[in-house]
Amino acid sequence: MTEKAAVPETASNDEAYDNMHQAIKMHFKRMDEGTVQDFELLAQVHTNSLKALPDLLINMLQTLKSDAIYPIDRLSHSLQSATRALKDNKDEEYIVCCLLHDFGESLGPFNHGEIAGAILHPFITEGNQWMLAHHGIFQTYYFGDKLGIDPNRRDQFKSSPYYEQTVEFCAKYDEVAFDPDYRSEPMSTFEPMVRRLLGSKKWSVM
Ligand SMILES: [Fe+2]
Ligand SMILES: [Fe+2]
């Protein structure tokens, strides 16, 4: 049993808070010395992190709005990508992948697709995960020649079962989604989709 900290009658608010905090704290110095109660708390931490994940990702998307160098900011690009998929009657999981495909671009300029693929991996199909992780390489088909990069690097993946899916994603929902005249749906259209997808985990928390 986790001991309940006794909060003295005269304790200040700070002391009461410290006592309460001690009572709900994991106490091990090394993990193999942890108790069942410690790891129940750890599981609860993961559960809480999972609940907070939709807001965290949506907030990270909002920060892409500050990017003024692109023809349209990257939040608008994300919304346009998702709207194009919505209008093509793609399924909800695919639409959320479009919305979130670039959220990690500031964290991983060289491998942002792998970031999106890794974070969404527990919630999406193998095909969508592969598509997100590889879309950066496939996307260079459209501009690699301007940077001295082989535009056909995607050819090395021709034998993948997800090659055509990733070609389609880049062609229809990524490389064309920089049009300032396109009328995208607002974030409120997609927020419930994000929450549904991230609430339907395919993996267990622990
Ligand atoms: Fe991207
Ligand atoms: Fe993109």
Q: Which ligand is nearest to the CA of 175?
A: 2
Tell me the CA–centroid distance for residue 141 and ligand 1, in Å: 13
Convert the pLDDT of each residue in 4-61 to its tens digit.
444 444 446 677 666 666 668 998 999 999 999 999 999 999 999 999 999 999 999 9
Distance (angstroms) between ligand 2 centre and the Cα of 202 equals: 25
Q: How far is the CA of 48 from the centre of ligand 1 (A)?
A: 29
Residue with tokens 């990524």: 174
Q: What are phi and psi of 30, to 5 degrees?
A: -140, 150
Show Cβ contacts of residue 121 under 8 Å, excluding neighbours closer than 6 positions.
Answer: 129
Q: Is the pLDDT of residue 193 over 90?
A: yes
The CATH code that applies to domain 52-198 is: 1.10.3210.10
Starting from the CA of residue 75, give the closest ligand.
2
CB contact at 8 A, 193 and 94: no
Proximal ligand: closest to the CA of 113: 1
Ligand nearest to the CA of 137: 1
C-alpha to C-alpha distances, 65 to 55, 112, 136, 202, nearest whole angstrom = 16, 17, 20, 31
> Considering every ligand atom, which ligand is closest to the CA of 177?
2
Q: Is the pLDDT of residue 104 over 70?
A: yes
Q: How far is the CA of 67 from the centre of ligand 1 (A)?
A: 14
Q: What integer is the mean pLDDT of 126-153?
A: 97
Q: How much is the average pLDDT of 184-203?
A: 92
Give tens-digit pLDDT for 54-101: 999 999 999 998 888 888 999 999 999 999 999 999 999 999 999 999
> What angle is formed at CA 117 by the lines to CA 111 and CA 121, rounded to 5 degrees?
150
Q: What is the value of pTM for the model shown? A: 0.87
Can you give the three-state secondary structure of the chain, one letter per residue? CCCCCCCCCCCCHHHHHHHHHHHCCCCCCCHHHCCHHHHHHHHHHHHHHHHHHHHHHHHHHHHHHHCCCCCCCHHHHHHHHHHHHHHCCCCHHHHHHHHHCCCCCCCCCCCHHHHHHHHHHHHCCHHHHHHHHHHHHHHHHHCHHHHCCCCCHHHHHCCCCCHHHHHHHHHHHHCCCCCCCCCCCCHHHHHHHHHHHHCCCCCCCC
CA of 138 to the centre of ligand 2 (A): 11
CB atoms within 5 A of ion ligand 1 belong to 102
Mean pLDDT (the chain) is 90
Q: Tell me how far the alpha carbon of residue 174 lies from the centroid of ligand 2, in angstroms.
A: 5
Buried b vs exposed e over 43-65: b needs ≥16 C-beta within 10 Å?
A: eeeeeeeeeebbeebbebbeebe
Distance in Å, CA 130 to ligand 1 centroid: 13
Give the model's pLDDT for residue 20: 61
